Amino acid sequence: MLYQPRQKEALWRAAEKAGMSRRWFLHLLSLGGASAVMTAIRLSGKSLFGLSPVYAAGPEENFAKPTKSYHIYPFAVEAGTRWWDVKTYITPWERVFIRNRYKTPLLDKAKWTLKIHGDAVERPLTLTYDELLKLPSRSEIRVHECFGNGRTINWEQLGHEVRGGNWGFSDVGQVEWTYVPMAEILDRAKVKADAKNLLFWSGVDGPDTGRPMPMSEIFSRPEEIGLAFGMNGIDLPPDHGGPVRAVVPGWGGAASVKWLTEIVISSTKGFWTRMHTKEEAYIGPDYPPEKPGPNDEFRGVTAQDIRGQMGTWLKVKSHLTIPYTMKNSEPPEGYPLKQGETYTMPAGKYTMLGYAYSPHGIQKVEYSLDGGKTWKEAPIKDPLGLKYRWVRFEFPWEATRGTHILATRATDKRGEVQPDTVPFNELGINCNAVPKFEVNVTS
Give the pLDDT score at 32. 56
- Contact of 394 with 353, CB cutoff 8 Å: yes
Q: From CA 60, how far away is CA 73, in angstroms rounded?
A: 10
Give the pLDDT score at 57. 31
C-alpha distances in Å from residue 78, one per residue of 23, 67, 300: 11, 10, 21
Cβ neighbours of residue 200 under 8 Å, at least 6 residues apart? Answer: 210, 211, 212, 213, 246, 255, 257, 260, 262, 263
Give the pLDDT score at 36. 59
The Cα angle at residue 256 between residues 70 and 71, in degrees rounded to 5:
10
**CATH no. of 317-442:** 2.60.40.650
Give the pLDDT score at 19. 61
**CATH no. of 113-310:** 3.90.420.10
pLDDT in tens, 192-218: 999 999 999 998 988 899 999 999 999
344 DSSP β-pair partners: 440
Q: From CA 169, how far away is CA 171, in angstroms rounded?
A: 6
Give the pLDDT score at 22. 67
Q: From CA 391, how far away is CA 361, in angstroms rounded?
A: 9
Stretches where the chain sits below pLDDT 70 are 1-7, 10, 17-24, 27-61, 66-67
Domain-by-domain residue ranges, the chain? 1-45, 113-310, 317-442
DSSP secondary structure string for all residues of 16-44 = HHTT--HHHHHHHHHHHHHHHHHHHHHHT
